[in-house]
């Protein structure tokens, strides 16, 4: 976290450095003091073995940090226990000093669906909202952005990121354990904003889209991925209680409805580049996941429906521009 402030000048964060410093100090106090799970995570972090990877490979589907030979066997076992303490691993896959972390989601599939469609990230300032353990931040870093900043409020995910970056030390990559709403108003700062898997968690999606647009410079790009419903009607589903057992899902639009939301939030050049049904190849249980997964969320008699009777998860990927 502090690294971001150390580099504030180079990163052009000057106008927001004070607010970011206050936010970071607040989060540090919270993590160290209030939250029992976070204190355990801190203890686990302190137990991590020393080690420096001889090489890091960010451009492959499995992000590889070091090789088995970079760490002695006893240290590898200590590391494996730490990784176990930080379960569930939702996003991946990673290989950390030869330990293969097959996460619940094979996130390479989404990255490969979008990579050809986005503006090249070289030299850009990128914000990833809901960055989880940073899988996409690491993949972005392979394209040499000026900055890849992830924000992820859920501490288990953020500690996973912290652990991975502790070893990977990718210079452009930073992560803060904060919600989007907590970030200072960094109007016009970012060249690309990623919002993947987050919009359906928002109660006021149009306002969230407008807030994302504010963060973009004129001509900047939004990469939006969210759950959608099938059909051409300009309609959105609002689940009565839960959707796929999640109690924090508010709106699932059709693709035409999502395009209208983007237009009404001020975006132009709106393109839907992919719609995919989520399958068991993309989201499944692995040894690093100690919770339910996709197959538990679907109707056992009809996999086209969720357990609540809604259309099964499908996700659309849209790209849009901030005209300024
Ligand atoms: N207000 C918020 N601000 C920032 N993050 C949030 C907020 N609310 C929830 N999150 C975080 O957004 C992430 C949503 S997962 C997508 C991960 C990745 N992007 C992916 O596309 O695989 C959902 C999925 O599995 O698709 C979680 O890590 C939340 O903690």
- Please work out, in degrees rounded to the nearest 5, the angle formed at the alpha carbon of residue 92 by the alpha carbons of 86 and 94: 85
| Residue to mutate, 113, 127, 130, 284, ligand 1, most ligand atoms under 8 Å from C-beta | 130
Task: Respond yes or no on whether ipTM tops 0.90.
Answer: yes
Q: What values do phi and psi take at 258, rounded to 5?
A: -65, -40
Q: pLDDT for 139-186, tens place per residue?
A: 999 999 999 999 999 999 999 999 999 999 999 999 999 999 999 999
Per-residue tokens: 297: 């969320």
Q: Atom 19 (ligand 1): residue with closest C-alpha?
A: 196
Q: pLDDT for 274-322, tens place per residue?
A: 999 999 999 999 999 989 999 999 999 999 999 999 999 999 999 999 9
Instruction: Output the CA 198–ligand 1 centroid distance in Å.
Output: 5
Contacts of 130 (CB under 8 A, 6+ apart): 151, 152, 180, 195, 196, 197, 198
According to DSSP, the residues that pair with 221 across neighbouring strands are 192, 321
At residue 182, the pLDDT reads 97
In angstroms, the CA 322 to CA 270 distance is 10
In angstroms, the CA 97 to CA 305 distance is 40
Please give the number of the atom of ligand 1 that sits closest to the Cα of 131. Answer: 19
Where b means 16+ CB within 10 Å and e means fewer, 50-75 reads ebebeebebeeeebbbbeeebbeeee
Instruction: Output the CA 201–ligand 1 centroid distance in Å.
Output: 8
Ligand 1: list residues with CB < 6 Å: 91, 107, 129-130, 132, 151-154, 157, 179-181, 196-198, 201, 225
Region of 157 please: left (phi>0), alpha (psi -120 to 50) or beta.
Answer: alpha
**pLDDT less than 50: residues of the chain:** none
DSSP code, position 7: T
At residue 261, the pLDDT reads 98
Please give the number of the atom of ligand 1 that sits closest to the Cα of 179. Answer: 3
At residue 35, the pLDDT reads 77
In terms of CATH architecture, what is 2-321?
A: 3-Layer(aba) Sandwich (3.40)
């Amino acid at each position: 976290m502090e690294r971001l402030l150390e580099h504030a000048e180079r990163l052009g964060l000057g106008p927001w450095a004070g607010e970011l410093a206050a936010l970071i100090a607040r989060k540090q106090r919270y993590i160290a003091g209030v939250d029992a799970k976070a204190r355990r995570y801190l203890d686990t972090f302190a137990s991590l073995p020393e080690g420096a990877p001889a090489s890091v490979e960010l451009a492959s589907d499995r992000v590889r940090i070091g090789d088995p030979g970079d760490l002695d066997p006893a240290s590898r076992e200590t590391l494996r226990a730490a990784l176990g303490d930080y379960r569930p691993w939702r996003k991946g896959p990673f290989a950390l000093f030869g330990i293969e972390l097959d996460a619940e989601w094979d996130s390479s599939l989404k990255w490969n669906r979008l990579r050809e469609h986005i503006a090249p990230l070289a030299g850009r300032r990128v914000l990833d909202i809901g960055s989880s353990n940073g899988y996409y931040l690491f993949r972005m870093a392979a394209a040499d952005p000026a900055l890849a900043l992830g924000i992820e409020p859920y501490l288990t995910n953020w500690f996973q990121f912290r652990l991975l970056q502790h070893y990977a030390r990718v210079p452009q990559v930073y992560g803060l354990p904060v919600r989007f709403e907590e970030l200072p108003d960094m109007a016009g700062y970012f060249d690309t904003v990623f919002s993947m898997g987050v919009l359906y968690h928002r109660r006021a999606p149009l306002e969230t889209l407008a807030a994302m647009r504010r963060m973009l410079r004129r001509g900047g790009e939004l990469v939006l991925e969210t759950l959608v419903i099938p059909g051409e009607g300009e309609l959105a589903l609002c689940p009565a209680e839960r959707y796929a057992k999640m109690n924090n899902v508010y709106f699932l639009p059709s693709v035409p409805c999502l395009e209208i939301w983007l237009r009404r939030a001020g975006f132009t050049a709106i393109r839907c580049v992919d719609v995919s049904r989520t399958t068991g190849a993309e989201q499944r249980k692995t040894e690093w996941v100690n919770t339910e997964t996709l197959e538990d969320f679907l109707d056992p008699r009809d996999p086209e429906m969720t357990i609540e009777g809604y259309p099964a998860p499908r996700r659309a990927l849209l790209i849009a521009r901030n005209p300024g």
